[in-house]
Amino acid sequence: MITWRTTARAFKPYILTSWVAIIHASCINTKENRTVQFSSASTVKYSTHIKPILDKHCIECHGIEGTESGLDLRTLESILEGGESGPSIIKNNPNESLLLNLIEDQLMPPEGEMLRKKQIKTIRMWLRSGASA
């Protein structure tokens, strides 16, 4: 005879799996929200967020041991000036910024560790917000 108890027992694994999935999804969503709040465009500054990224991935070729393609990435002023290919960034327009395009297409840096998605997103947000110091 089928009773409520036998039916409940039959569905117990499915119910448990559903709860685990819901809890897992809520944790992922919370993590994404924290990232968005931390990386909001109004808080991205050159000196605290962008310069450390460039120092780690770019300065060796574009500053310390020379300026490949005439591009010096040591200061915001020299970044705005650009190099032989013209301006390296376009304020308020990340899609037209050569620096970001080369990084996103994984052409830069040519050697060593590529930038992480979060770092690229930070640079994009900085450019979109006007590339402030």
Residues 8 and 72 in one domain: no
Residues 9 and 57 in one domain: no
Average pLDDT over residues 99-110: 97
65: pLDDT confidence band, cut at 50, 70 and 90?
Answer: confident
In a domain, 133, yes or no: no
Domain of 93, in residue numbers: 42-128
Around 106, how many Cα atoms within 13 Å sit in the side-chain half-sphere? 5
In a domain, 113, yes or no: yes
15: pLDDT confidence band, cut at 50, 70 and 90?
Answer: low
Model-level pTM?
0.69
Give the chain's domain count. 2
According to DSSP H, which parts of the chain are helical? 4-38, 51-57, 76-81, 98-104, 117-128
Residues 33 and 70 in one domain: no
Residues 47 and 82 in one domain: yes
Residues 18 and 80 in one domain: no
Q: Report pLDDT for 37.
A: 44
Q: Report pLDDT for 34.
A: 42
Whether the CB-CB separation of 125 and 39 falls below 8 Å is answered with: yes
